Amino acid sequence: MSNLLTLLILLPVVAGLVCYFVRSSAVRNLTVVATGAILAAASLGLLGQGSFEPLAVGSFLGIGSDFLITVMDFALLGVIFFYGVKHRNLLIQGFTLAQVVLLAWFEIVMVEHVDVPALAGDQLSLIMVLVISIVGSLICIFAIPYMKEHEEHLHLKKSRQPRFFFFLLLFLGAMNGLVLANNILWLYFFFEVTTLCSFMLIGHDATEIATRNAVRALWMNSLGGLAFVIGMMLVYMQANTLNIAAILGGASQGALMVTGVGFLCLAGFTKAAQVPFQSWLLGAMVAPTPVSALLHSSTMVKAGVYVILRFAPVFAGTLLSDGVAICGAFTFLACAALGVGQSNGKKILAYSTVANLGLIICCAGINTPLAISAAMLLILFHAISKSLLFLCVGTIEQAIGSRDIEDMRGLYARHPRTALITVIGILTMMLPPFGVLLGKWMAIEASAGNIWVVIMLATGSALMVVYLARWAGSLMASREANAAPERQPLLTRLPLMLLCGGAVVLSLFSPWIYNTMVAPMFNAPPFIIRFGSFEASTGAFVVGPLFIVFALGLIYAVKAASGFRKVRIAPPYLAGSNAGEAGTYIGPMNVPVPFSTGNLYLGELFAEGKLTPIFNALAVALIVLMLGGAL
């Protein structure tokens, strides 16, 4: 047990150091692939052993591990402060200094240092470990060929990949530590490590815009760190313990406790890039694509929703809970609306991530077993589908040199495999019987008791369908009968295929996943599983039968479509004035005139520049309302 935990947290760190110091690409590639495989196996092993009670870690080389974490905490804040000074950013310096002062006060004056079991694993932690270790590892493996090509484009004299893979792997270790931590100070330490890693990775290319966006990410997450310290202090004042299990077990819902958790939620909001903090995650897309995939799916933003879900039992039934639900639902609606106006593929995905995180946070705020189940399934399935889509955009970008979905029009003609995987990825994000929609269905049914939340969810989910469906549609096209097959490196294809297969197959097994991983959390689970269907008195979702019907239907449809070369291929209708060349019509003077079509981005209604300030102002008001509700 403790061996597995050590492996999950420390192996990525050690592997990262190997990548950093051994400047050989062969060693690096082998290290990354091996680490990924071991992490995946270890996470499955941990799942096999099931949830475990809090356990103590003891000492390391004769030094108490708690003391070690404290020292590293201050060192980390020192590093962040250094970057604040280097980039002359007063916000970072201020937020970090405030953290140092408060943390010193907390550690020296307030806390009675008693042994607290440092690590624990419940169902939520185990699911998170799976997501981090498997999805995260696949992204790291995808990064190997991607970064090779990325650097060939940049013509670097000296490869910066050692640094890149160091932070990438460190990120996985920190995330595993974060979700397994039972001592709130450990949680805080790993929370800060993810802040630093994301700063380093966003700024990796060291261009002006990368640096600017990295600094923005750092100050916003430093604000989150400050909120975390304040929340931690307030919670300690009431609960008198650093033990998270004890905090959750204690039934007290005093004002201090709820306010403290309110601040922890604020920290979660910044990390999960909820409106008005969404700009750091949007800025993060300047980084190489594997970084975006990692930040958006399995790490960083999921750390934010994890913290909120972790402390959700404490604020059940309070006004804070309603506040969290409304803030989350508002983010869902706002970012779904902002996504409609975008044609940049990465930006569409970014807004869709923020919206889905809002949905998960909204579920944490609704705080019923049904809603928490929805949140956990969404975490799992969103991570798979979203990482897949980011890796697809990365692959497409390297193939066609653009990430704009207008340029991806007709991608199937040249890159059939990537286009098909992207289409499947998009479908798993929005349609039944796939897992993300299952989660959304649960979320809407769970929110039916709260009129404002359900209105926002209903509107937001309609907006999401619009921008995802038109993207999937525009990828399809005709392919020449004798076109060359698409070639790509094995390490690019493998993660894409595995994630794509995972998104589909795991959706089929969602009833089983629910039964083994989610249902044990509750005394009265919201669903019973019968015939592969979720059943409850409030509604039912027939996963298994739907899969069978759609699978048979799709096989038939594919078979019908595969014989298309036998039917007559006609040019599209152009009022009878088709010119010989495709994509042109016969215009005035009998000259062929090319035509083009584009998506409707509804700029007049969904302009980013116009809507963002309004949404930000509303979101700030809602957050103030939420924290006020906690007081």
The binding site for another protein (CB under 8 A) comprises 410, 427, 430-432, 437, 441, 444-445, 448, 451, 454-455, 457-459, 461-463, 465-466, 469-470, 472-474, 476-479, 537-542, 546, 549-550, 553-554, 556-558, 560-562, 564, 567-575, 582-583, 595, 597, 599-600, 605
Residue closer to another protein, measured from CB, 327 or 437: 437
Q: For 294, which DSSP code? A: I
**Min. distance of Cβ 599 from another protein in angstroms?**
6
Q: How far is the CB of 474 from another protein (least distance, A)?
A: 6
Q: Which is nearer to another protein, 94 or 416 (CB)?
A: 416
DSSP structure string for 275-287: TTSHHHHHHGGGS
What's the start-to-end Cα distance of the chain, in Å? Answer: 41
Q: How far is CA 44 from CA 8, 132, 133, 134, 272, in A?
A: 11, 12, 9, 9, 26
Least Å distance between CB 537 and another protein?
6
CA angle 265, 221, 180 (to 5 degrees): 60
Report CA torsion sign: 140, 141, 146, 147.
Answer: positive
Nearest distance from C-beta of residue 472 to another protein, angstroms: 6
CB of 37 to another protein, least distance (A): 36
269 or 527, CB closer to another protein?
527
How does DSSP assign 180-241, residue by residue? HB-BHHHHHHHHHHHHHHHHHHHTTT--HHHHHHHHHHHHHHHHHHHHHHHHHHHHHHHH--
| CB atoms near residue 597 (< 10 Å) | 9
Looking at the Cβ atoms of 485 and 573, the one nearer to another protein is 573
For another protein, the closer CB: 252 or 478 = 478
- For residues 237 and 579, which CB has a smaller minimum distance to another protein in the complex? 579
For another protein, the closer of residues 490 and 561 by Cβ is 561
Residue 317 contacts residue 176 (beta carbons within 8 Å): no
Nearer to another protein, 71 or 554 (CB): 554
Cβ atoms 202, 284 nearer than 8 A: yes
Output the smallest distance, CB 39 to another protein, in A.
35
382/396 Cα distance (integer angstroms): 21
CB of 511 to another protein, least distance (A): 14
Cis peptide before 416 (omega within 30 of 0): no
**Closest approach of another protein to the CB of residue 44, in Å:** 31
Integer CA distances (angstroms), 479 to 27, 228, 419, 475, 482, in order: 40, 54, 12, 12, 8
The verdict on whether omega for the bond into residue 592 sits within 30 degrees of 0, i.e. cis, is no
